[in-house]
Amino acid sequence: MNNFTPFSALLGGVIIGLSVVFYFYMTGRLAGISGIFEIAITKASQRLSNLAFLLGLVIGPLIYFNFIASSAPVAFNITHSYLLIIPGGFLVGFGTRLGGGCTSGHGICGIGRLSTSSIIATGIFVAVGMLTVAVLQQFGIYL
């Protein structure tokens, strides 16, 4: 585990948790990003407030890079293989909406509310994600 970063991970997690709580307390909605994304692109009546949240997700890192930690850039090493990006994006969109949530909706809000279905959903996508990475590694991708 030579890349293990437990302290920054925990700090980031607590900040995410505070955002989730504040959002729920103020608006009465759960901060499940796949759900917010779906509403932003499909429901005209609630589009703006959901788009505002998504815009915040982009502004947050920009604030961090420019004002908080400009000396230590955070890496975003994203694959540039369209063979991974296009099916990957499609499956993330389709799968999260079919399954009713993603890492934030099921993983944080759902487990935070002790929802059995969210605990099961999270177990499934983590396990299948691990299996997928193991298969890709067999083909020499992600060494």
Partner 1 sequence: MNDKIISLICGIIFGIGLVISGMTNPEKVIGFLSITHNWDASLIFVMGGAIITAGPFFYFLKNKELSALGDKINLPIKQNIDKKLIIGSSLFGIGWGLVGLCPGPAISALATFDPITLVFLISMAAGVLVKKNTIE
Judged by CB under 8 A, the chain residues 5 through 44 that form the site for partner 1 are: 5-6, 8-31, 33-34, 37-38, 41-42
106, two tokens: 């099921």
CB of 86 vs partner 1, minimal distance in Å: 5
CB of 126 vs partner 1, minimal distance in Å: 7
CB of 60 vs partner 1, minimal distance in Å: 2
CB of 71 vs partner 1, minimal distance in Å: 14
CB nearer to partner 1: give 44 or 82.
82
Judged by CB under 8 A, the chain residues 67 through 126 that form the site for partner 1 are: 68, 74-80, 82, 84-100, 102-104, 106-109, 111-118, 120-122, 124-126
